[in-house]
Amino acid sequence: MTNKTNNPDVLNSLVLNYGGGRQTVAICVMIAKGVLPRPDIIVMADTGRENPSTWDYLNQHVAPFLAQHDLRVEIASHDLATVDIYSGNGDLLLPVYTETGKLPTFCSNEWKKRVCDRYLRSNGIKGGTRWIGFGFEEKRRWSKMHGKTEGKWKTVCPLVDLLINTAACLQIIKAAGLPQPHHSSCWMCPHKRNAEWRHLRDNYPEHWQQAIAMDIEVRENDEKGSVFIHHDRVPLGEANIDVDEAAGKVQQCTLGVCFV
């Protein structure tokens, strides 16, 4: 893999922010096949709470596939985050549901974007182009960042430029002989749909119980005791996750590289 990290003045690097979901897996396939240029680095932020299925898929499928093409995903440790569940002034960073609405999604910025930025700077990469894997159909998510420059970084969504949606990503992954990945997200993410909660409960019961415990914790720490991780605004352990919610009821984050 071409690597410019030995030059501390690099400002024109090409970076893929790998999220572990369908879109960035498809981008990795297109890089390996020569459809997209090779980035200088592929980096993934470890939130400390990523779905176990994301790590399983990376280790069992993506890492061996990329190794065949002299590529790899580098991991930015959660130790690089300066805050965790709560900000320095005590504000909750999770986008939990309240009685009347929903809190903003601050965790993606703090646990992913800023962590990756710190990791890149520690490797001498100070600016350039950052690839994010939003699909073409996800205009609500990419419209405010695609092609925009912030500081020394320009954000580009290569799937948007190629008019590739998530359904096409699944076909690209299948054609490469890889199994389909699950959505990437943290195991307690309020943006989860019921199908994702079921997958966690049925396949990773330890993390399902941790998510239930965190749901209780944030409610105990709330002044009104009325914040919930599940979109039905009931305790997660009592939510009816065996029934799929109406289309559009759960909106995914637009801030970072979650789910991509």
Mean pLDDT per 10-residue section of the chain, whose length is 260 residues:
44 93 97 97 96 95 98 97 94 94 92 96 95 94 92 95 97 97 91 94 97 97 94 96 84 67
Structural domain containing residue 79: 13-238
Supply the pLDDT for residue 253. 64
pTM of the prediction?
A: 0.89
Q: Are 97 and 228 in contact (CB under 8 A)?
A: yes
Q: Which residue has the tokens 């986008």?
A: 95
- Asked if the structure places residue 148 within a domain, the reply is yes
**Structural domain contains residue 170:** yes
Report if residue 2 sits inside a domain.
Answer: no
| CA distances in angstroms from 150 to 25, 51, 112, 128, 155, listed in the order given | 25, 29, 16, 10, 8
Residue closest to 14 by CA, chosen among 29, 33, 27: 27
Domain membership of residue 250 (yes or no) is no
pLDDT, position 209: 98
**Cβ density class 59-92: b for 16+ within 10 Å, e for less:** eebbeebbeeeebebeebebebbeeebeeeeeeb
pLDDT at res. 254: 59
Residue 256 maps to a domain: no
CA distance 109 to 104: 11
Tell me the torsion sign for CA atoms 14, 15, 20, 21.
negative
Identify whether 244 is part of a domain: no
CA dihedral (180, 140, 249, 216) in degrees, to 10, reads: 80
Which CATH number does the domain housing residue 144 bear? 3.40.50
Domain count, the chain: 1
In a domain, 66, yes or no: yes
Using alpha carbons, select from 110, 147, 144 the residue that is nearest to residue 129: 147
